[in-house]
Amino acid sequence: MLSDAQLTGDAVLDLSKVVQVVENTMDGTSGAIYAIYLNSLVHSLRQQSSHTSTATAKVWAAALQQASRSLANYTPAQPGDRTLVDALHPFVETLAETGDVKKAAEASRKGAEGTKGMKASLGRTVYVGGKGFEQVPDPGAWGLSEFFLGLAGAKGVDDGYEIV
């Protein structure tokens, strides 16, 4: 459990602990995608740390972009496929452009919201029959955007969210 782990303040070491939790507790395709992405992120941060000792927004953005390129080797998911990538991509790109985690989290939420009404070409929704899923965002994209909003210090409200 992550709650039992002593965090060191070293981004690479602490993120490695998160990876272990993901690998041991998350099942399904999302668990595999998170494990691949986070392992690549750890690797990218290690490479970045050889050039700098401070994990700035710029360092994180570069590592996140590299992890996204690595993830593309394992999944064809792109923005517009109604998957968690619809929230991940805008977060990574906005962080790279602005260096602002809150703006990146807002972009992630907008990406997740954009999956409403989107026809799925990948992910579990492709296999789910029936109707109604078009009226809600993709669960994977929504969950990831919630994580990013939490990371940015945001809290959800009934009709949106508020950055605090």
The per-residue pLDDT for range 83-111, each reduced to its tens digit, is 999 999 999 999 999 999 999 999 999 99
Verify that 56 and 8 share a domain, yes or no.
Answer: yes
φ, ψ at 85 (rounded to 5°): -65, -25
Structure tokens at 143: 């969950």
Domain count, the chain: 2
pLDDT of residue 57: 85
Verify that 62 and 86 share a domain, yes or no.
Answer: no
Verify that 110 and 151 share a domain, yes or no.
Answer: yes
Verify that 70 and 107 share a domain, yes or no.
Answer: no
The helix-helix angle for 57-71 and 85-98 (nearest 10°) equals 150
Residue at a domain's end among 40, 75, 110: 75
Residue at a domain's end among 75, 101, 130: 75
The helix-helix angle for 139-151 and 101-113 (nearest 10°) equals 160
Residue at a domain's end among 40, 58, 75: 75
pLDDT of residue 91: 96
pLDDT of residue 14: 85
| Mean pLDDT value across residues 135-160 | 78
Verify that 86 and 154 share a domain, yes or no.
Answer: yes
Instruction: Tell me the pLDDT of the chain averaged across its residues.
Output: 84
pLDDT of residue 58: 86
Verify that 25 and 90 share a domain, yes or no.
Answer: no
Verify that 86 and 150 share a domain, yes or no.
Answer: yes
Verify that 61 and 89 share a domain, yes or no.
Answer: no
Verify that 86 and 59 share a domain, yes or no.
Answer: no
| Range with the poorest average pLDDT among 39-48, 53-62, 70-79, 100-109 | 53-62
Cβ–Cβ under 8 Å, residues 67 and 96: no
What is the domain range of residue 97? Answer: 82-164
* DSSP string covering 91-146: HHHHHHHH--HHHHHHHHHHHHHTTTTPPPSSSGGGT--SSSGGGS--HHHHHHHH
Verify that 45 and 90 share a domain, yes or no.
Answer: no
Verify that 90 and 161 share a domain, yes or no.
Answer: yes
Verify that 69 and 90 share a domain, yes or no.
Answer: no
The pLDDT-based confidence of 139 (bands split at 50, 70, 90) is: confident
